[in-house]
Amino acid sequence: MTEFSEKILLPFIINLHRIDVYEEHGGYQALRKAVKMKPENVTDEVKKSNLKGRGGGCFPTGLKWTFMPKDSIKPKYLCANGDEGEPGTFKDRQIFELNPHLFIEGCLIAAYAMGVQTIYVYIRGEYTKWINLLQKAIDDAYARNYIGKNILGTNFSAEMYIFKGAGAYICGEESSLMNSIEGDRGYPRVKPPFPAQNGLWGCPTTINNIETLSNVPLIINRGWEWYSKIGAPRHPGTLLFGISGHVNKPGVYELPTGVLLTDLIYKYAGGVSGNKKIKAVIPGGSSTMWLRGEEIESVRMDADSLKAIGTSIGTGGVIIMDEDTDVLKVLARITHFYHHESCGQCTPCREGCGWMEKILKRFLAGEGTMKDIDLLLSVANNIEGNTVCALGDAAAWPVQSVIKKFREEFEKRVRESPIEKKYVAPPHLVTD
């Protein structure tokens, strides 16, 4: 792994969000280069760079683009996913604010490569400030013919629209996102068929995250070889790590993949508030499996390294909890989120998330029993893998991992409960 300190997605350039400043620093040169290439060669360049999706799933971007049919007579769509509804994830809005033209340029190159005529940028509705900033950038790009008809004097034309989400986490899931754009309820669709075959209005569609697309101009400008050498070889590039919780300097830090988790916490995010010890870390947004504080030494922040220790890089949203944290309380709060955000389509998720929340609340009220620990685990296990989309998994994983890593916290709670000794559960709470 190489040492790499450059900020390529969010460089420190004053007013880079302005189109003239962006152009002064080489902006839109990658698009100029791309439209002179064969579309399949553009895709090939992205494929060879080994860029992996930044929306949570780490799917290879170039490979995804090859799924778009070349000979379809239907319109083709690109949806840029900026719903960013997961707790602990707050990085895409930095791109909208600080470097929106890099993202727009990435969308246009992707559209050119896949023969897409229409780009939708799906942004969470609460992001009013960032929606307005991006709209201004899109207007400026239209005015300079980077978007619109016959872009840069070629036969390539593409329109770009912002679509505001209405505050539903489920609409970040790619098929719900398409239903939402179509004006339907944001229910996930059963796959297959996959979006490349049957996406928006039944037409070929690709969905990519905002940060993923923002990497594309860099790959085209500087070549796949350069890009593939940044950070961890099998998951290259920089990541916008959003770090929050009990650290002195929470925020978004652009660092190469494979950076040490401890460097992220102590070197960049200023260490733990009050110099306390770390009790737990959520490494990649609220849906990823937790780590205990003692486990984080020498953990590297890339897809393979985190997979090897039973968790995942997710969206790179790192949440730090200090030694005084009540992990059950945090887990109950996260589970409340998933219960609230479950769209209700699949029974295991609709009912299971509610059951998990209820059981966790029992523990918080001092009414949990030893049997409840395994009951909770059993509910989580029955949600995982049994739903149309991954929201169910996202709800189950934190519960499974906290039981695995912090079982003693549940047991302590039960032992210390005055109710455990004399309490007789009413029939509706009897669990066996």
Ligand X SMILES: Cc1cc2nc3c(=O)[nH]c(=O)nc-3n(C[C@H](O)[C@H](O)[C@H](O)COP(=O)(O)O)c2cc1C
When asked if residue 56 is in the footprint of ligand X (CB under 6 A), the reply is: yes
When asked if residue 110 is in the footprint of ligand X (CB under 6 A), the reply is: no
φ, ψ of residue 26 in degrees (nearest 5): 90, 10
Minimum CB distance to ligand X, residue 418 (Å) = 39
When asked if residue 398 is in the footprint of ligand X (CB under 6 A), the reply is: no
Q: Is 322 left (phi over 0), alpha (psi -120 to 50) or beta?
A: beta
Of residues 56 and 204, the one with the C-beta less far from ligand X: 56
Nearest to 19 by CA among 113, 103, 81: 103
Minimum CB distance to ligand X, residue 25 (Å) = 25
Of residues 205 and 212, the one with the C-beta less far from ligand X: 212
Stretch that binds ligand X, among 37-45, 49-57, 146-154, 235-243 (CB under 6 A): 49-57
C-alpha to C-alpha distance for 274 and 5, rounded to whole angstroms: 28
C-alpha to C-alpha distance for 118 and 115, rounded to whole angstroms: 9
Of 212, 215, 257, 342, which lies in the binding site for ligand X, with binding defined by CB under 6 A? 212
If one counts every other C-beta atom within 10 angstroms of the C-beta of residue 115, the result is 17
Report yes or no: 31 and 217 within 8 Å, Cβ to Cβ.
yes
When asked if residue 59 is in the footprint of ligand X (CB under 6 A), the reply is: yes
Half-sphere exposure of 196 (CA within 13 A, CB side): 13
Stretch that binds ligand X, among 67-75, 204-212, 378-386, 400-408 (CB under 6 A): 204-212
C-alpha to C-alpha distance for 27 and 409, rounded to whole angstroms: 52
Minimum CB distance to ligand X, residue 314 (Å) = 10
Of residues 108 and 296, the one with the C-beta less far from ligand X: 108
When asked if residue 174 is in the footprint of ligand X (CB under 6 A), the reply is: yes
Q: Is 148 left (phi over 0), alpha (psi -120 to 50) or beta?
A: left
Of residues 230 and 389, the one with the C-beta less far from ligand X: 389
Minimum CB distance to ligand X, residue 177 (Å) = 7
Does residue 427 have a cis peptide bond before it, meaning omega lies within 30 degrees of 0?
Answer: no
When asked if residue 322 is in the footprint of ligand X (CB under 6 A), the reply is: no
When asked if residue 55 is in the footprint of ligand X (CB under 6 A), the reply is: yes
When asked if residue 53 is in the footprint of ligand X (CB under 6 A), the reply is: yes
Nearest to 383 by CA among 349, 337, 346: 349
Give the footprint of ligand X on this chain (CB under 6 A).
53-57, 59, 64, 81, 83-86, 169-170, 172-174, 207-209, 212, 389-391, 394
